[in-house]
Amino acid sequence: MRTSKDWGHPCPNHECSHYKLMNRGNVSAISTYLTNSGKRRIFCCKVCGRQFSETRETVFFDLRTPEEKVMMALKMLLVRVDLAGICFVLGTTEETVLEWLRRAAHQAQKINDHLLRELPVTQVQLDEMWNFIGRQHSAQSEPRGESGDSSEDGRQWIWISYAPEFRLMLAAFVGSRTLQSACTLIQMTAAVVKGVPAFFSDGLRSYLPALVAAYHQTREFARTGKRGRPRKPVREPHPDLVYAQIVKVKEGGRLKHLHERIVCGGERLTQLGFSISTSLIERLNLTLRHALAPLVRKSWSFCKDREQMRRRVVFFQAYYNFARPHLSLCTKLPRREQVKAGIIRPKWKQRTPGMAAGLTNHVWTFRELLTAKFEPIHFQSISG
């Protein structure tokens, strides 16, 4: 018989001593109620007496729309279907679909915050992908056409950090092509990785000061005893910081050749034996452009609001890491685990980037992606 400690639902009462704690034996199912998606349970906390639905703090909470319809709309957002097409097929309004996207992005952000931390990553590839919001050139754009930090329209780039060994998206950010955006991406990446990995990027100049701002040591100078002000402390790159670039040389809009540039940490790069490459994150850019309709070139499905683009990218990041099997991560099944009955006998086990990084032990279903619940970080251990 199933016991109360196996329900996996936390108490939502802020004043309860078991607030947001899971599998403590304080939650029990007391009844069910009928919805458009079938029966749903009502739980009760034995400590505070608070009653709550099983869909509490999920994407489906307090929605009258069938859950299958909501999941269909969110799946279509991830397979390059534009907003107008989704509304035409499902018979909904754009405001409704955008509200479902807001909920899904909030859920995806919780997943990223709880699972993407202290990752044993040895190398990180950095890149930025061109996009525009509302119009191709902002009214406050610079002479070269780039949007400033204060602009929310015009050219807005998708900044991504990627762990090639796990095929894992570490961080994603939508912003203008400025130093501030590069610093934001590096800070988001440094918050989820352990130690100082090796970084590889294209020839953009903003990455070096952003990396030094996140990984540095302060060098102080002793007083000389002479007249005048003492010398100010100087920031220096961290001794373990490795950063190299792949510089593209183009002529007439066509790529002529590539050359490598080691910016810092050349000796450590030789010891680690890594090859300087950004090919895998470039391939991820292609996956993004084939998955999200606003990133398709020469399309009318571009986003009119930067926040909507950020929500799509965050939602895709969680889906890519935990619910989308990656072909290059498959492992061969032992012979005894291969199915003997039937015509098709699978020989490979599908794995997601989250499984390769040890963050989970199975491929998440789409419903699991929208309903996953977690304890607070200081109570949680990093396991499936």
Q: HEC string of 8-50?
A: CCCECCCCCCCECCCCCCCEEEEEEEEECCEEEEEEEECCCCC
What pLDDT shows up at residue 253? 79
Q: How many CA atoms lie within 13 A of 104 on its CB side?
A: 31
φ, ψ of residue 369 to 5 degrees: the values are -65, -30
Which pLDDT band holds residue 293 (cuts at 50, 70, 90)? Answer: very high
Q: What is the pLDDT of residues 160-207, one digit of tens each?
A: 999 999 999 999 999 999 999 999 999 999 999 999 999 999 999 999
CATH class (in words) of the domain with range 121-219+234-298: alpha beta
Amino acid of residue 82:
D
Q: Which residues does residue 43 pair with via DSSP β-bridges, in sequence order?
A: 29, 52
pLDDT higher for 150 or 24? Answer: 24
Q: Distances in Å between the alpha carbon of 115 and those of 339, 352, 360, 366, 377?
A: 32, 14, 9, 17, 9
pLDDT at 14 over 50: yes
* DSSP states of 209-223: HHHHHHSEEEE----
Q: Taking residues 68-90, report their average pLDDT.
A: 95
- If you count them, how many residues does the chain have? 384
What pLDDT shows up at residue 4? 47
Q: Which of 348, 296, 284 is nearest to 321 (CA)?
A: 284
CB atoms within 10 A of CB 145: 12
What pLDDT shows up at residue 231? 82
Which pLDDT band holds residue 379 (cuts at 50, 70, 90)? Answer: low
What pLDDT shows up at residue 340? 56
Bridge-based pairing state of the strands 234-237 and 123-129? unpaired
Across 88-97, 139-148, 284-293, 326-335, least confident range: 139-148
Q: Which of 194, 59, 78, 185 is nearest to 129 (CA)?
A: 185
pLDDT at 1 over 50: no
User: How far is C-alpha 314 from the chain's CA centre?
Assistant: 5
- d(CA 6, CA 222) in angstroms, rounded, equals 61
What's the start-to-end Cα distance of the chain, in Å? 24
Q: Distances in Å between the alpha carbon of 320 and those of 169, 225, 285, 315, 369?
A: 8, 59, 12, 9, 11
Q: Taking residues 281-309, report their average pLDDT.
A: 91
Which pLDDT band holds residue 90 (cuts at 50, 70, 90)? Answer: very high
Which pLDDT band holds residue 338 (cuts at 50, 70, 90)? Answer: low
What pLDDT shows up at residue 23? 83
Q: Distances in Å between the alpha carbon of 334 and those of 94, 344, 363?
A: 48, 16, 19
**Positions of E strands within the chain:** 27-35, 38-45, 51-53, 123-129, 132-133, 154-155, 157-163, 168-175, 198-201, 216-219, 234-237, 242-251, 254-264, 331-332, 348-349
Residue 203 CB contacts under 8 Å (≥ 6 apart), including other chains: 245, 246, 247, 248, 261
Across 150-159, 256-265, 268-277, least confident range: 150-159
What pLDDT shows up at residue 60? 94
In the chain, the percentage of residues whose pLDDT exceeds 90 is: 61
- Residue at token pair 């090796």: 198
Q: Taking residues 270-291, report their average pLDDT.
A: 94
Across 15-19, 89-93, 140-144, 339-343, least confident range: 339-343
Which pLDDT band holds residue 342 (cuts at 50, 70, 90)? Answer: low
What pLDDT shows up at residue 380? 52
For the chain, what is the mean pLDDT? 89
Residue ranges covered by each domain of the chain: 1-56, 121-219+234-298
pLDDT at 3 over 90: no
pLDDT at 47 over 80: yes
CB atoms within 10 A of CB 107: 21
Write 259-262 long-range contacts (CB < 8 A, 24+).
261/203
In the chain, the percentage of residues whose pLDDT exceeds 70 is: 93
Which pLDDT band holds residue 341 (cuts at 50, 70, 90)? Answer: low
Structure tokens at 273: 């034996």
What pLDDT shows up at residue 34? 87
Sign of the Cα torsion 8, 11, 14, 15 reads: negative
pLDDT at 383 over 50: no
- d(CA 157, CA 155) in angstroms, rounded, equals 6
Q: Taking residues 319-347, report their average pLDDT.
A: 80
SS3 annotation, 142-170: CCCCCCCCCCCCEECEEEEEEECCCCEEE
